Structure 1
Amino acid sequence: MSNTIDHPPLHDEQTRREQALTETVVASFDGTPDARLKQLMQSLTRHLHAFVRELRLTEDEWNTAIGFLTDVGHITDDRRQEFILLSDVFGVSMQTVTVNNEADADATEATVFGPFFVEDSPSIELGGDIAGGASGQPCWVEGTVTSTDGTPIAGAHIEVWEADEAGFYDVQYDGTELAGRANLTADSAGCYFFWGLTPTPYPIPHDGPVGRMLAATNRSPYRASHLHFKVSAPGHRTLVTHIFVRGDELLGSDSVFGVRESLIAEFTEHSSATPTPDGRAIGDRSWTSTRFDIVLAPTRAKTDSHSERHR
């Protein structure tokens, strides 16, 4: 049985008044000097008015929405961005990423940036450890960085960051010590390798208005297990992406819709007795390994045609 509320047909005069108001507000932006800003404001007006009119939004519902957005603003500070969180759980962040990272041959898919990136993370040599004291199961990560034509990208800059085994990033703890993040440089053959932590699932912050919205709509705040990458090289589009753990039961319900099938990787578990790739002593704890080959799309001029981008 449908839960949709049907509304009686509108009188012609009511329809005329509502349409006239929309047209008046749209026209108020006609004098906007910046053409793109004018387009954005007029389109936003049309969509917002259409939402209100289609659903016959009540004044109580609108006041509730205003109160909700006010709460989102109040909880936002220099360490917590609830508006980004709101964008994430509506899939708007991921849709914006998708629009701005068009498919290009077999280039690695992009996904959401997330709120926990930090500039100037520690630099490590190839084979180094990004954990920096963060707790978790050791994980050997390796791969290559190439162009879409298969050419290795020597010296590609790679930044990686992740949560610890408790599901928290370093910036969520008191203090300023960085852990679970680093940057490194691919070698002359475009190869990279480092020690990290086996990714674990964790909830996005859900003690605020966005969390209450998820609870009211019976949605989980949990993100699928993942490891963040930001990869850049001259002449190539900077890639922000994750890799996800194959077999994670949350792959189909990631709270910010960041999972892509092409980004799901095998994380193979090894016993403590299994030799590590670099001879590192693991002790009596098991470890995992994974491979993630990265393909960067070329930087393209904005005047390129759609057909040229997809040859």
Structure 2
Amino acid sequence: MPLLNLSHVTSYTYRQPVSFGEHRIMVRPRESYDQHLIDADLHIDPPPSDLRWLQDVFGNSVAIATFNRRAKRLVIDSRVQVLHAPAEVEHVDIEEYARLYPFTYSSEEMPDLLRSIERQHLDPQRQIDGWARRFISPTGHTETLALLSDMTTAIKREFTYVPRPEKGTQTPIETLARRKGTCRDYAMLMIEAARALGFAARFVSGYVYNPSARDQRTGGGNTHAWVRVYLPGSGWVEFDPTNGIVGSRGLIRVAVARDIYQAVPVSGTWSGFPGSFLDMEVSVNISVDQGVSADDTPIAANGSRKIR
């Protein structure tokens, strides 16, 4: 059970002092049975005139910062300590009625899952539908967990991971056509594919680390994105198509949302002379204080990216 120290620093630089509008910050990991927040500190420079916390409609912790002074640089520095007890794929226990696909969610759960089943991206030629249905066995005997696991590993195996510092996300159809993308592109493709088959799926933003020297994860050094699918009996189960893994081993959840635009780590506005903005740099570092045995020690996932 590793004890992780996470540092997430976002820096904005400008040519001359600018004024800052309201900033919405989602960097505080979620409390759950498999991850326990031990300590958290959010430092902002210049100091905001007001900083308040709220929980959004999904239960994510959101800091709202407002400012009353101008500056040439804005730094948002989050330092947290998390005790992680990750859920493994062998602990996924699906109710008998849902072990084979297709199945129908219970009448008690369906009203709360409907918006997570609803498609968010246009697919006029049903390309995502066709791709998703390749994971259904032609014999009519398709295990639910195997279907989702195969979809996860297929993205890892058949697509090329290409880091992209620019903002924004490809549409699922673009990712399917280009056969390459970032973790957030892969997450949105799998979410739409799962929804095409009637599953309730959500977008997850958080952090990834290498749980051991034997388990090397792609996507470190920045925030990471993956998928949660609701499976009766186990609830929301993690699927990381970037790394082709099932379960939360090596994954720290920060924000869960129906769509990617509801889980942006930092968003806000500024005002000043045109051309004032120089660059944005994001640095995520994860280190391990203590935890598992020496031959299975988690490895830090560190790095940074810059946008000009």
Instruction: Name the TM-score, length of structure 1 as normaliser.
Output: 0.23
> In terms of Rg, which structure is larger?
1
Instruction: Name the TM-score, length of structure 2 as normaliser.
Output: 0.23
**Greater helix share, structure number:** 1
Q: Which has the higher contact order (CA 8 A, sep 6+)?
A: 2
